[in-house]
C-alpha cells in the first residue's frame, strides 16, 4: 500500500530501479552461462590434447620395454649360456662359467636399462637360478600374473598384466619369455620386473592443467579397480576400489568427456580414455571450480557495475551526494579493470595465434625439407620424422613414432646408445657417416649431422640426414 501512496515521480523512479535490477541480473546470468560454455569447450580441448599426448607416451614406453626385453634375450651368446645353465649341474665348470658371464651381462643390462627393476632366470621347477638381485636366487616364483612376450611385430597389440606386488602391494608388471632346447621342449623362463616410475612421471606431469589438474591411470587388480599411477595414491582410503562416472565408463571400454564427481566426490571436468591395448583407463581432470572461475568473476563484475550504475537512477537527496561520488569512483575502477582484462585477453590471443602460426610454418618447412629430419629423445625413440624420412624409410608417420633408432640404424643398437648420447651432450653437435635400414630391408648410406638440444626441460637430438648413395 505504501507504494501506491507515493507521488508519481517516486513511483516511476522505483519501478525503473526495479526493472534495472532485473536487467542487471539477467545480463549477469546470461554472461555467466555463455562464458561457462566457452570455458567448458576450451577445457575439454586442453584435457583431450593432454590425454592424447600421455596415451601416446604410455604406449611407446610399454613398446620400448617389450622390444628391449626381447633384444636382451636374443643374442646368440646369451642363448648359448642360457642353454648351459639350464642343462648342467651347478657344480659343473661349464655351468659356473656360463653363470658368471650371464650375471655380468644381466647386471650391465639392468644398469643401462633402469626400467628393468630385476632380471632373473627360472628353471623348469620355477626356481630362480640367476638374478640381478642375488638375495632372490634359490627362491620360487609364482607365475600366475606374468606377461608373456614372444615376438614384436609392428602394429600388434600388447596388453601387460598388472598385479599387486607381494612385497610392496603396489601395481607391478613382469615380462617373461620362454626358453626351449633344440627339441622345442620347455626348459625355463627369463623374466624382468618392470620399474613403473617412468609411467608415474609421464602420468603425473600436469603442465597446463592449472592448480587442480590431475592425471591418473586406473586398472583392474583382482576384483576391484585401483590406481595404477597417481600422485599420493592411498588405496586404504578406497577399500572397495576407486569409482566415478569417468572411471566406470572408461573401464567399460568407453572414451568420452563430461562433468561429473571424481573418485573423491569433487565436481570435475574430465576426459576419460580406455587404452584397449593396455587394459588401462586414463583420466585427465580438473576441478570445475577452477575451470569456471573466470565465468563467475565476469558475472560478478557485470552485476557490480550494473548495481553501481542503478544507484544513479534513484532520486537525488542531499544525504546521498557522498555515496554517489563513491559509487562513481567504484564504477571507474571496475571499468578500468574490465578494460585491462580485455586488453590482456586480446594480447594473449594475438600471441597464441602468432605462436601457432610460427609453429605451423616451422612444421611445413620441416615436412617439405629434402633431407631426412628426426627428433629423438634420450631413450632413442623418434618423436618426429618429416615427410622425407617417412618416404625414404617406407614407414608412415604413425609407425615411425612407435620405433627407435635401433630399428633403422644397425650401428646404434641399445648397448652403445647411452655412450653415443653422452658424447653428443658433451660436443653439442657433430657429423658422421652411418647407414639406415628401410622397411623393405634395403640399407642406404647416409651422412648425419646431429645436434643436442633442450626444450621444456626435456633433452632431444635433432638429426639432419642426407642420403649419399641409393
Q: Where are the beta strands (DSSP E) in 24-82?
A: none
Nearest to 50 by CA among 364, 286, 386, 230: 286
Measure the CA angle with vertex 416, ends 415 and 420; round to 5°: 150
| Contact predicate 191/146, CB 8 Å | yes
The tens digit of pLDDT for each residue in 238-249 reads 777 888 999 899
State phi, psi for 204 to the nearest 5 degrees.
Answer: -75, -20
Confidence of residue 321 (pLDDT cuts 50, 70, 90): very low
pLDDT of residue 100: 92
Ranked by mean pLDDT, the top range of 150-164, 345-359, 360-374 is 360-374
* Average pLDDT over every residue of 333-360: 64
Q: Which of 59-63, 121-125, 398-402 has the lowest mean pLDDT?
A: 59-63
Rounded distance, CA 409 to CA 402, Å? Answer: 15
Rounded distance, CA 102 to CA 97, Å? Answer: 9
pLDDT of residue 295: 60
- Residue linked to cell 612407435: 402
What burial class does residue 329 get, using C-beta atoms within 10 Å of its C-beta: 0-12 exposed, 13-18 middle, 19+ buried?
exposed
Packing angle between helix 293-310 and helix 321-368, nearest 10 degrees?
A: 150
Mean pLDDT of the chain: 78
Rounded distance, CA 346 to CA 333, Å? Answer: 20
| Contact predicate 82/178, CB 8 Å | no
* Average pLDDT over every residue of 455-462: 83
Q: Say whether 376 sits in a helix, a strand or coil.
A: strand
Length of the chain: 470
Q: Say whether 350 sits in a helix, a strand or coil.
A: helix
Paired residues of 459 in beta bridges: 454
Residue 287's contacts (CB-CB under 8 Å, 6 or more residues apart) are 212, 266, 267, 268, 269
Q: What percent of the chain has pLDDT over 70?
A: 71
| Contact predicate 194/116, CB 8 Å | yes
pLDDT of residue 338: 63
Q: Which residue has the higher pLDDT, 322 or 92?
A: 92
| Contact predicate 259/292, CB 8 Å | no
Nearest to 383 by CA among 353, 404, 407: 404
Rounded distance, CA 177 to CA 298, Å? Answer: 60
The tens digit of pLDDT for each residue in 271-319 reads 998 876 667 888 989 888 887 777 666 656 655 655 555 555 454 444 4
Amino acid at each position: 500500500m505504501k507504494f501506491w501512496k507515493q507521488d508519481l515521480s517516486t513511483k516511476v523512479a522505483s519501478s525503473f530501479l526495479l526493472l534495472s535490477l532485473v536487467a542487471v541480473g539477467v545480463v549477469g546470468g546470461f554472461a555467466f552461462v555463455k562464458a561457462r560454455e566457452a570455458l567448458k569447450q576450451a577445457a575439454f580441448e586442453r584435457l583431450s590434447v593432454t590425454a592424447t599426448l600421455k596415451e601416446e607416451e604410455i604406449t611407446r614406453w610399454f613398446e620400448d620395454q617389450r622390444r628391449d626385453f626381447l633384444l636382451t634375450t636374443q643374442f646368440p651368446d646369451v642363448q648359448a649360456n642360457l642353454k648351459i645353465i639350464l642343462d648342467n649341474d651347478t657344480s659343473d665348470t661349464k655351468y659356473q662359467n656360463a653363470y658368471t658371464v650371464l650375471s655380468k651381462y644381466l647386471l650391465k643390462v639392468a644398469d643401462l636399462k633402469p626400467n628393468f627393476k630385476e632380471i632373473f632366470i627360472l628353471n623348469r621347477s620355477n626356481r630362480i637360478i640367476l638374478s640381478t638381485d642375488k638375495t632372490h636366487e634359490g627362491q620360487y616364483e609364482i607365475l600366475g600374473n606374468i606377461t608373456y612376450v614372444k615376438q614384436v611385430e609392428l602394429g600388434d597389440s600388447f596388453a601387460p598384466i598388472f598385479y599387486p606386488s607381494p612385497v610392496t602391494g603396489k601395481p607391478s608388471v613382469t615380462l617373461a619369455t620362454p626358453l626351449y632346447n633344440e627339441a622345442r621342449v620347455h626348459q625355463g623362463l627369463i623374466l624382468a620386473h618392470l620399474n613403473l616410475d617412468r609411467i608415474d612421471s609421464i602420468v603425473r606431469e600436469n603442465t597446463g592443467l592449472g592448480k587442480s589438474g590431475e592425471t591418473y591411470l586406473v586398472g583392474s587388480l583382482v576384483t576391484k579397480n585401483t590406481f595404477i599411477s597417481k600422485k599420493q595414491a592411498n588405496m586404504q582410503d578406497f577399500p572397495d576400489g576407486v569409482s566415478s562416472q569417468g572411471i566406470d565408463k572408461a573401464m567399460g571400454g568407453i572414451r568420452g568427456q563430461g562433468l561429473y564427481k571424481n573418485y573423491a566426490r569433487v565436481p570435475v571436468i574430465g576426459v576419460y580414455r580406455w587404452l584397449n591395448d593396455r587394459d588401462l583407463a586414463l583420466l585427465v581432470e580438473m576441478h570445475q571450480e577452477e575451470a569456471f572461475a573466470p565465468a563467475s568473476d565476469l558475472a560478478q563484475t557485470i552485476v557490480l557495475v550494473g548495481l553501481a550504475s542503478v544507484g544513479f537512477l534513484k532520486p537525488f537527496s542531499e544525504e546521498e551526494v557522498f555515496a554517489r561520488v563513491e559509487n562513481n569512483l567504484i564504477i571507474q575502477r571496475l571499468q578500468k579493470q574490465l578494460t585491462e582484462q580485455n586488453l590482456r585477453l586480446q594480447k594473449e590471443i594475438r600471441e597464441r595465434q602468432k605462436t601457432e602460426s610460427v609453429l605451423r610454418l616451422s612444421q611445413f618447412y620441416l615436412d617439405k625439407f629434402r633431407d631426412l629430419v628426426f627428433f629423438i629423445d634420450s631413450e632413442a625413440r623418434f618423436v618426429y620424422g618429416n615427410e622425407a624420412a617417412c618416404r625414404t624409410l617406407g614407414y608412415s608417420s604413425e609407425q615411425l613414432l612407435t620405433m627407435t633408432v635401433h630399428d633403422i640404424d644397425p650401428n646404434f643398437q641399445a648397448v652403445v646408445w647411452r655412450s653415443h648420447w653422452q658424447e653428443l651432450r658433451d660436443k653439442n653437435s657433430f657429423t658422421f657417416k652411418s647407414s639406415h635400414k628401410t622397411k623393405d630391408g634395403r640399407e642406404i648410406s647416409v651422412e648425419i649431422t646431429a645436434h643436442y638440444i633442450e626444450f621444456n626441460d626435456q633433452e632431444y637430438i635433432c638429426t639432419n640426414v642426407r642420403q649419399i648413395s641409393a
